[in-house]
Amino acid sequence: MVKIYLDPGHGGSDTGAVGQGLQEKQLTLAIALKIRNILNNRYQGHQIRMSRMSDQTVSLAARTNDANQWGADYFVSVHINAGGGTGYEDFIHSSLSNHGTTGRYRQMMHEEIMKQVNLSNRGRKQANFHVLRESNMAAILTENGFIDHAADAAKLKSAAFLEQIAIGHARGIARTFQLSSKSSSGSSGSSSKNQGASSSGSGKTNSIVDYLKSIGEDSSFTNRARLASSYDIQNYTGTAAQNTQLLNAIRSGGTSGNTSSGSSAKRVHLPASASTWRTYPLNVTPVKKNSDWSLTPAAFGGLTYTILAEPYPNVVTIQTGRGRRNIYIGPDTSARRM
């Protein structure tokens, strides 16, 4: 079941942008509620949670904390722009590539929204916005026209136009997570729904058992106890608090007892014969489709890194120029432990 978190920007004491007799907080709520209704009425295989469903004040931290605690698969923040421009644009976090998971999600969202709205295309952009930075899941922030531009504002005053914006968002979400239509039937629809849940949920579940299964790891109590010990979680008995601690430690690539032997840290060498070596963000399953950046050992005559953690079998965490990343060093590669 895919979990979609809808975030109508601003609200309550925070009006957001204002112009042409409009307030951003009112428009974003109207659009988000329409997105929710379209998804619930037309599609299946998902759950929806909203940061607000009325004109209330909700801090940025409260929004991302709520989405993180709920275990959302996708965070969609809806906004209206201002500043003298015109058109539609969307954002993912500035640290992310257009070719990674979040970038691919955004590409589908962007395409579907642009099919529905009669606005100029300002492009796909990146920014260090709080909701993009602090959310643990893939996240997008959409800017749906300029409230202080006369032509854009005239469209935003139309309920029909807000409906088109919402349809674009809903179709983008449905396409991204392969949600099946409620009108579809038979095994093909069920298959589509399951594929969407599996694709988005990989690495995003709040259950340590489900998470270990999703990465092909033994989820038995014995193995969980072994993993807990390696992450310095003492006296593991399988309590909810310990399971959450273990899940967070594995996802983050936290310090593990497996990463060192005595005072000598383990290292891994990537040979010069490798032109590129895929890396993975710490919060995704390390499979090919989730790689969004590569190292270039050949350009440096080989690369050697200290192993900071071993969050999965044959996967290690290293410190790179882009921060901590996971890499695969299985026996089918030319990587060499040192």
pLDDT digits (tens, 9 = 90+) for 11-43: 999 999 999 999 999 999 999 999 999 999 999
DSSP string over 180-194: EETT--SHHHHHHHH
Whether the predicted pLDDT of 185 surpasses 60: no
Residue at 226: amino acid letter: R
pLDDT number for residue 290: 85
CA distance 253 to 245: 12
pLDDT at 220: 74
Q: Could you give the CA distance from residue 170 to residue 41 in angstroms, rounded to a whole number? A: 11
Per-residue pLDDT tens for 249-288? 665 444 443 333 333 458 888 888 887 888 888 888 888 8
Beta carbons within 10 angstroms of residue 234's beta carbon: 7
Looking at residue 199, its pLDDT comes to 32
In the predicted model, is pLDDT for residue 205 greater than 60?
no
Residue 163 bears catalytic tag: no
For position 337, what pLDDT does the model report? 85
User: Helix-strand-coil percent breakdown of the chain, rounded to 5?
Assistant: 40, 25, 35
Q: Average pLDDT of 169-173?
A: 96
The CATH architecture that domain 267-337 belongs to is Roll (2.30)
The percent of residues in the chain predicted with pLDDT above 70, rounded, is 81
Res 235: pLDDT: 82
DSSP string, 192-212: HHHHHHHHHHTTT-S-HHHHH
pLDDT of amino acid 47 = 92
- For the stretch 104-147, pLDDT in tens is 999 999 999 999 998 999 999 999 999 999 999 999 999 999 99
What pLDDT was estimated at residue 260?
36
CA-to-CA separations, 203 to 243, 275, 286, in angstroms, rounded = 15, 28, 9
Determine which one of 89, 112, 143, 310 is catalytic: 143
- Stretch 62-68: mean pLDDT, rounded? 95
Average pLDDT of the segment spanning 300-314: 81
Taking Cα atoms as reference points, which of 114, 126, 127, 125 lies closest to residue 87?
114
User: What is the pLDDT at residue 206?
Assistant: 67
When pLDDT is cut at 50, 70 and 90, the band that residue 186 belongs to is: very low
Burial of 84 (0-12, 13-18, 19+ CB in 10 A): exposed
- In whole angstroms, give the CA distance from residue 127 to residue 113: 20
Structure confidence at residue 338 (pLDDT):
77
pLDDT of residue 13: 93
Q: How confident is the model at residue 50 (pLDDT cuts 50, 70, 90)?
A: very high
pLDDT in tens, 76-106: 999 999 998 999 999 999 999 999 999 999 9
- 81 three-state secondary structure: strand
Q: 36-45, 160-169, 235-244, 254-263: which has the minimum mean pLDDT?
A: 254-263
Tell me the backbone φ, ψ of residue 87, rounded to 5 degrees: 110, -175
**pTM for the complete prediction?**
0.56
- CATH 3.40.50.1820, domain 2-181, yes or no: no
- Which residue did the predictor score with more confidence, 250 or 1? 1
Where along the chain do its domains lie?
2-181, 195-253, 267-337
DSSP, res 179: P
**Burial readout 295-308 (b: 16 or more C-beta within 10 A, e: otherwise):** bebbeeeebebebb
Average pLDDT over residues 309-327: 82
pLDDT digits (tens, 9 = 90+) for 207-216: 777 766 654 4
Exposed/middle/buried for residue 29 (C-beta within 10 Å: 0-12, 13-18, 19+): buried
